[in-house]
Amino acid sequence: MQAVTINLYFNDSILGTEDLPVRVRLPPPDAAIALYSLPQIQDILYDTMSSRHVLFTLKTPLGSMRQGMMVKTLSGWKNVEITCREELYTSVVEHGIAEFMPAVNRVDEDYPSSITIETDPGSMMEAVLGKRKSWILNTYVTEKILGILERYNLYYMVKFSGNKGWHIQIPVELKEPFTVYQDIVKTIVTRDTDSLSQEQGTAARDEILQLEEVKSYKDPFFVARRFVDLVGARVMFYELRDIGRILTLDDLKKLHVSVQPMKREDYLLKDLDIYETSRGPVKVGIPQILSINPYSRFRRQFKLLIDHSSNKREGKLRSVFSLHSKTGLVSLPALLQTTEGTPRFDPRMWDHDFVHTWARAERVYDKISTGILHPRDSIQPRKVNEQSGFEQFLRDNAGLLIYLLQEGGEALELLTTPAAVRANTHLWNPKSQ
């Protein structure tokens, strides 16, 4: 693919470089048709699509790509309907389908059957750190997320997005909000009724909880998004202690992370994000490298986004073993290993160049067709999670959740680590509820 390399400056200082493609490279039609001709791939794709609406990326007669759920025929527009495995491949050939993105909820079900977490580096972060170091940071943060899920005994599947990040899917039939979550919402929305008598307070609380705005707080999709945000907050304020092995102080300064001198006696204090430098210790706003707010587009350019946005009614996420329509890469399950009971990415998954070669459609086809890769075996077992692990996670981070619900994700991102830890400790006291 042809590209133009540009330099990026800030205050007359060069931040980094970025390659801008002159045109979007489309996946070779033969590669897509070959990949989707494999019965093993058809089985997996059909299973992920079953009982769900699916968004497709299709090739137009002019050779460009478009997203949609309908195709134009001689008799007019009609939905793409795939009712059996054989029809999947027929539709790929007839309609030029390159990408499959099923919904997070089943048809006629008003709740998600999985919670999805996506990691996505901002464009300026990639330009400043370079694609390879941004990829390492992304993998480092994703591994921290997996560690949290493991500690709470939550099953998940993690896969390459097909582009810049990782996708984590956590199976759960989230028909109703978690009990701890409901208790926290009830506490927040009724905090102004404590001065009333017991009878008046009960009536007032019941009335408040019936307001449409309050009811939306208990919508299963809203709850799923807040769970993802809370996982992001947990990573921000508790899991980045060893980030110095990934990013240098110079890297952090280029990302516009705040840096301020510290007194020598402060160096030994806990819960402070401190780097030692030749001029003495400095406090660094390490949590600022992450964002849990997908709507602050400008601010997140320098950040790594822990994205919740697929968790909505008919929210779509690229299926495992689907092509990415822009890169032509396959969304493959990550290679994992366990070290001392802790999930780790296979060392090769940290290598940007390896992953982006490993996921090329023609290579995936060759490995499957020759029996080197067995797609079904590479997918982590899909077990539906019980609510107990989610409940315990929410209970352990209830203070952060209260702050998140009251102030919003953008305000949470601005907290320092000590302030966030204090909020998590003191904002929720279940004994007094």
Per CATH, is 3-174+225-242+289-387 categorized as 3.90.920.10?
yes
Phi-psi region of 76 (alpha: psi -120 to 50; beta: other; left: phi over 0): left
| pLDDT (tens place) for every residue of the chain, 433 residues total | 445 566 665 556 666 666 655 444 445 556 788 999 999 999 999 999 999 999 999 988 888 889 999 988 888 899 999 999 889 999 999 999 999 999 999 999 999 999 999 999 999 999 999 999 999 999 999 999 999 999 999 999 999 999 999 999 999 999 999 999 988 888 877 765 565 556 655 665 566 666 555 667 889 999 999 999 999 999 999 999 889 899 988 898 888 787 777 665 655 554 456 666 666 777 778 888 999 988 777 778 889 999 999 999 999 999 999 999 989 999 999 999 988 777 799 999 999 999 999 999 999 999 999 999 999 888 865 688 999 999 999 999 999 999 998 888 888 888 888 889 999 998 886 654 4
The count of other CB atoms within 10 Å of the CB of residue 265 is 8
Q: Which DSSP letter does residue 431 get?
A: G
Collapsed DSSP state (helix, strand, coil) of residue 304: strand
**Whole-angstrom distance, CA of residue 172 vs CA of residue 257:** 36
Collapsed DSSP state (helix, strand, coil) of residue 215: helix
Q: How many helices (H) and strands (E) does the chain have?
A: 17, 17
For residue 24, what pLDDT is reported?
42
For residue 197, what pLDDT is reported?
56
For residue 406, what pLDDT is reported?
86
Beta bridge partners of 103: 316
Total residues belonging to the chain: 433
Handedness of CA 283, 289, 292, 293 (dihedral sign): positive
